[in-house]
């Protein structure tokens, strides 16, 4: 693809996402907001670029997105190399996120499970552990949804099968969620 074609492809996918995803994004914002109001925390996991998205989400919640507000409890299960390597060594790579969910999550918490294919074994194991504990699960996948589609009703399916376009939509959706949360929580903090 030429550079112009890449931008055109990005624009087409983003335009389709803008038409398809807002109702689901509103549901997800509400689920995250309710989790936080009830004293829960947000966990996030993924591999590669999706690991970076998990860390990006946690950083925006703990810090701030646009507006100044209180820090929100969020943990990226992808960021602690000592824990990741110990768990990978002792339990296998498929359990690196599930074991952390078992130790850190509680009923009422919310897990963002990010996988462009929707089929990452370690993300799927984390989802199973989260559901067993009574956590809400939000999945971010590509158009096909993969195995994650059967694990949650709260799913953002980026309307593409190209990994780069999927990741670009996921990043935009993370920003949408954070901006809406800033508005909701900021208005509550002002009361």
pLDDT in tens, 118-147: 999 999 999 999 999 999 999 999 999 999
Query: What digits encode the pLDDT tens for the residues 19-70?
Result: 999 999 999 999 999 999 999 999 999 999 999 999 999 999 999 888 888 9
DSSP 11-63: HHHHHHHHHHSHHHHHHHHHHHHHHHHTT--EEEE-STHHHHHHHHHHHHHHS
Check residue 188 and give its pLDDT: 59
Statement: residue 12 has pLDDT above 60: yes
Q: What is the pLDDT of residues 90-120, one digit of tens each?
A: 999 999 999 999 999 999 999 999 999 999 9
CATH code of 31's domain: 3.40.50.10490
pTM of the full predicted structure?
Answer: 0.96
DSSP category for residue 140: E
- Look at the alpha carbons of 166, 172, 173, 174 in this order and tell me if their dihedral is positive or negative: positive
Give the rounded distance of the alpha carbon of 45 from its chain centre: 7
94: which 2 tokens?
A: 């498929």
Task: Domain of residue 44: give its range.
Answer: 3-189
**Beta pairing partners, 141:** 157
State the total domains in the chain. 1
């Amino acid at each position: 693809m030429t550079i112009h074609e890449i931008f055109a492809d990005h624009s087409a996918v983003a335009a389709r996402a803008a038409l398809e995803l807002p109702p689901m994004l509103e549901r997800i914002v509400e689920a995250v907001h309710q989790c936080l109001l009830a004293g829960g925390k947000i966990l996030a996991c993924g591999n590669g670029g999706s690991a970076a998205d998990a860390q990006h989400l946690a950083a925006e919640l703990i810090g701030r997105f646009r507006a100044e507000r209180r820090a929100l409890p969020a943990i990226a299960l992808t960021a602690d190399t000592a824990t990741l390597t110990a768990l990978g060594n002792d339990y296998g790579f498929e359990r690196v996120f599930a074991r952390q969910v078992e130790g850190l999550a509680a009923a009422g918490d919310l897990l963002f499970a990010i996988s462009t294919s929707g089929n990452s074994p370690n993300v799927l194991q984390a989802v199973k552990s989260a559901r067993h504990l009574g956590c809400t699960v939000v999945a971010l996948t590509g158009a096909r949804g993969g195995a994650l589609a059967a694990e949650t009703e709260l799913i953002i399916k980026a309307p593409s099968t190209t990994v780069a376009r999927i990741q670009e939509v996921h990043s935009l959706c993370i920003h949408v969620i954070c901006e809406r949360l800033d508005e909701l929580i900021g208005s509550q903090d002002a009361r």
